[in-house]
């Protein structure tokens, strides 16, 4: 009996795998790697593209950040060519640049592949430079040029009864927080442990896990100091390649009084957040979608999840969007890059143009909530009136702080996240920890 079962199983398997190989037709197959937040939109665009061009098959593979980044680096280092097109994170520009095709050169060399209606001047200069260019070379097409935004429960912030209680307790009006100090107070008010009347269990959802997430959370607390008049005079203007972590001449800026202040604010806020050290992107999304918290700093594209949440219906009444307290969110998001090791560069380049052309830039915003990259899209009335995010988007993007995007970024990030996480969980003294990061960073940059 057992033997018969085994033979049957093996036979099934053989037939199945034989089918698998014979079904692979002789078309061009493009491998597109995507971060999870872009995957649905890219998948949709890929399906449309294949419908128009049946000889090109496109396989969109979503990979989580911690998986995608090492894999791109691996491919860049060894030239394997495992992907043709990938989304690369804005902060990884320097690290991945070596492996990406110079698109302007490519366009000149292959005029037959260029889309005549593409309109290369339709990009805002700042967006083009940040999400498309490294070291003067065009290594990507801006796809999802995002910044973080501050989402809050509009229904609670506007509820007269709640407002009265807040005023009675703190002696001032309940308003959307402009600074992190105000946020601490409001977060306390919305935490049931400190206020049994609170409609939510916790005030704010924070993500300080042991992943790259923590590396972008620190700047939204540090940048308000780094970019204040005092900070500018102390550290100099922000160099966009080195970002807010550094002074204008590439020295660590955070191992200072200001850096310690930022981390102390993070520690204070943690008392009003559900499991901040154990939560990542996905968890904070669920906290907010399920009504567990009243506020959350999150990315532009999470809107689609909030819209789908049963507990946040109707979304126009329940969710408000503002710029980050302290005024300086962090920049992020993605560009589409073409792998130097790809065997199908022409087809890949055509698809990249298709995915970012005027029509589809608008389409991916309206359907999937991804940030518009083109000027024509932001000027479109339908886009402007689409949802509450558009009111603050321009301001947030203009004021956004930056992470370093130099080639040494992966190492800097791993060192920083490790120690920052240690400081937040209380096992390392803030000042000592920040000094330790600075010391190791200097060593990495000198090598």
Partner 1 sequence: MHSIKEIFKYILLLALVIFFFFPIYWLIITAFKVSSDWFDWPPVFIPTRFTIGNFLGTEGGFQGSLATAISSITPYLSNSIVVALVTALASMLIGSLTAYAISRFKIGGMFFASWIISIRMLPPIAAALPLYVMFSHLNLLNTKLSIILGHLVFTTPFSTWILITFFNDIPRELDEAAYVDGASMIRTFVSVILPLSAPGLAAVASLAFIQSWGEFLLALILTSSAESQTLPIYLGRFITGWRIAWGPLAAAGLVTMVPVMTFSLIMQRYLLRGLTFGAVKY
Partner 2 sequence: MQTCYKASAWLMAIPLLVLFLGFTIYPFFYMIGISFTNCNLSAWEVPKWVGLKNYATIFDDLVAAGSVEFTILLVLIAVPLEMLLGLFVAFLIDDVVGESFWRSIVVLPMMIPPVVAGIAWKMLYNFQYGPVNYFLSFFGIHRISWLGDPVMARVGVIIADVWQWTPFVFLVLYSGLQSVPQDLIEAASVDGASRWHTIRYVHLPVIRPLVWVVLIIRLVDVLKLFDIVYMVTFGGPGSATHTISYYIYKVGLSFGWDIGYASALSVLLLIAVVLLTNVLIRVLNVRQLLGL
Given the rule CB under 8 A, which residues bind partner 2?
A: 66, 69-70, 73-74, 76-78, 95, 98, 209-211, 274-279, 283, 286-287, 292, 407, 410-411, 413-414, 418-419, 421-422, 424-425, 427-428
The binder of 136, among partner 2, partner 1, none, by C-beta within 5 to 8 A per type, is none
CB of 165 to partner 1, least distance (A): 25
422 binds, among partner 2, partner 1, none (CB under 5 to 8 A by kind): partner 2
Q: Please tell me the distance from the alpha carbon of residue 394 to that of residue 397, in angstroms, as a whole number.
A: 5
User: Tell me, what DSSP letter sits at residue 171?
Assistant: S
CB of 272 vs partner 2, minimal distance in Å: 14
Q: Give the CA count within 13 Å in the CB-facing half-sphere of 407.
A: 10
Query: Could you tell which of partner 2, partner 1, none binds residue 20, using a CB distance below 5 to 8 A set by kind?
Result: partner 1
At 345 the three-state DSSP class reads helix
Q: Which is nearer to partner 1, 51 or 125 (CB)?
A: 51
Q: How many residues does the chain have?
A: 447
| Stretch of 80-88, 123-131, 157-165, 436-444 contacting partner 1, by CB under 8 A | 80-88
List the single partner that 17 binds among partner 1, partner 2, none, CB under 5 to 8 Å by kind.
partner 1
Q: How far is the CB of 209 from partner 2 (least distance, A)?
A: 6
Among partner 1, partner 2, none, partner that 281 touches (CB below 5 to 8 angstroms by kind): partner 1
13 binds partner 1 (CB under 8 A): yes
Q: Using CA atoms, how far apart are residues 117 and 111, in angstroms rounded to an integer?
A: 13
Contacts of 243 (CB under 8 A, 6+ apart): 91, 219, 401, 402, 403, 404, 405
Does 61 bind partner 1 (CB under 8 A)? Our answer is yes
Q: How many residues lie near partner 1 (CB under 8 A)?
A: 51
3-state secondary structure labels for all residues of 79-111: CCCCCCEEEEEHHHHHHHHHHECCHHHHHHHCH
Q: How far is the CB of 106 from partner 2 (least distance, A)?
A: 22
Taking the complex as a whole, the smallest distance from the CB of residue 60 to partner 1 amounts, in Å, to 8
Write phi, then psi, for 292 (nearest 5 degrees): -75, -30
Q: Is 43 in the site for partner 1 (CB under 8 A)?
A: yes
Helix (H, G, I), strand (E, B) or coil at 190: coil
Does residue 300 belong to the site contacting partner 1 (CB under 8 A)? no
- Least distance to partner 1 from the beta carbon of 42, Å? 10
Q: Is 199 in the site for partner 1 (CB under 8 A)?
A: no
Q: Is 179 in the site for partner 1 (CB under 8 A)?
A: no
Least distance to partner 1, CB of residue 368, Å: 9
Q: Under a CB-based contact definition with an 8 Å cutoff, are residues 190 and 174 in contact?
A: no
Residue 48 is a binding residue for partner 1 (CB under 8 A): no
Residue 347 interacts with partner 1 (CB under 8 A)?
no
Rounded CA-CA distance 294/326 in Å is 18
Least spacing, CB of residue 49 vs partner 2, in Å: 32
Query: Three-state DSSP class for 374?
Result: strand
6 in contact with partner 1 (CB under 8 A):
yes
Give how far Cα 84 sits from Cα of 24, 373, 388, Å: 18, 22, 36
Cβ atoms 275, 283 nearer than 8 A: yes
Give which of 147, 124, 91 is closest to 328, Cα–Cα: 147
Nearer to partner 1, 285 or 397 (CB): 285
Compute the Cα dihedral for 123, 95, 252, 412 and give only its sign.
Answer: positive
275 touches partner 1 by CB under 8 A: no
- The only residue of 30, 56, 58, 62 in contact with partner 1, by rule CB under 8 A: 62
Distances from the Cα of 170 to the Cα of 71, 97, 291, 325, 446, angstroms: 50, 51, 24, 19, 50
Alpha-carbon span 287 to 301, nearest angstrom: 16
Q: Residue 127 or residue 273: which is nearer to partner 1 going by CB?
A: 273
Q: Does 67 interact with partner 1 (rule: CB under 8 A)?
A: yes
72 contacts 385 by C-beta, under 8 angstroms: no
Task: Please give the full DSSP string across 272-333, using - where no structure is assigned.
Answer: TSSSGGG--HHHHHHHHHTTSEEEEEEEGGGHHHHHH-GGG-SHHHHEEEEPPTTS--BEEE
| DSSP percent split of the chain into helix, strand, coil, nearest 5 | 55, 15, 30
Residue 310: name its binding partner from partner 1, partner 2, none (Cβ under 5 to 8 Å by kind).
Answer: partner 1
Closest distance to partner 1 from the beta carbon of 99 (Å): 13
Please report, as ranges, the residues that interact with partner 1 according to CB under 8 A: 2-3, 5-6, 9-10, 13-14, 16-17, 20, 31, 33, 36-37, 39-40, 43, 59-68, 71, 74-75, 78, 80, 82-83, 209, 211-213, 280-283, 285-286, 290, 304-305, 307-308, 310
């Amino acid at each position: 009996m057992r033997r018969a079962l085994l033979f049957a199983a093996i036979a099934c398997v053989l037939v199945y795998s034989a089918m698998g190989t014979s079904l692979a037709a002789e078309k061009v197959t493009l491998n597109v790697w995507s971060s999870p937040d872009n995957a649905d939109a890219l998948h949709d665009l890929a399906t449309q593209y294949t419908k128009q061009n049946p000889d090109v098959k496109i396989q969109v593979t979503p990979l989580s950040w911690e998986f995608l980044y090492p894999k791109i680096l691996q491919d860049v280092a060894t030239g394997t060519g495992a992907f043709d097109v990938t989304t690369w994170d804005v902060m990884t520009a320097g690290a991945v640049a070596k492996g990406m095709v110079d698109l302007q050169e490519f366009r000149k060399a292959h005029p037959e592949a260029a889309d005549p209606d593409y309109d290369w001047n339709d990009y805002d200069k700042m967006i083009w430079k940040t999400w498309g260019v490294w070291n003067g070379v065009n290594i990507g097409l801006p796809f999802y040029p995002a910044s973080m935004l501050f989402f809050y429960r509009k229904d609670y912030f506007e509820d007269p009864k709640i407002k009265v209680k807040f005023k009675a307790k703190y002696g001032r009006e309940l308003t959307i927080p402009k600074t992190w100090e105000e946020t601490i107070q409001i977060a306390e008010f919305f935490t049931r442990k400190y206020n049994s009347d609170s409609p939510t269990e916790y005030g704010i959802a924070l993500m300080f896990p042991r992943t790259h997430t923590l590396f972008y959370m620190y700047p939204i607390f540090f940048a308000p100091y780094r970019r204040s008049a005092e900070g500018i005079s102390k550290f100099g203007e922000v160099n966009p390649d080195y970002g807010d972590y550094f002074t204008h001449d590439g020295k660590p800026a955070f191992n200072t009084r200001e850096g310690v202040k930022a981390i102390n604010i993070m520690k204070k806020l943690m008392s009003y957040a559900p499991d901040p050290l154990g939560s990542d992107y996905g968890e904070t999304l669920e906290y907010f979608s399920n009504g567990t918290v009243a506020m959350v700093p999150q990315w532009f594209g999470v809107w689609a999840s909030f819209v789908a949440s049963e507990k946040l219906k109707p979304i126009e009444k329940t969710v408000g969007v503002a710029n980050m307290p302290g005024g300086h969110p962090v920049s992020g998001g993605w560009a589409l890059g073409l792998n130097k090791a790809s065997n199908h560069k022409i087809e890949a380049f055509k698809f990249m143009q298709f995915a970012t052309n005027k029509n589809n830039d608008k389409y991916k915003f309206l359907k999937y909530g991804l940030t518009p990259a083109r000027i024509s899209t932001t000027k479109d009335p339908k886009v402007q009136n689409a949802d509450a995010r558009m009111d603050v988007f321009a301001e947030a993007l203009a004021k956004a702080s930056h992470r370093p995007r130099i080639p040494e970024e992966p190492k800097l990030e791993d060192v920083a996240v490790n120690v920052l996480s240690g400081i937040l969980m209380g096992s390392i003294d803030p000042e000592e920890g920040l000094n330790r990061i600075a010391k190791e960073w200097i060593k990495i940059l000198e090598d």
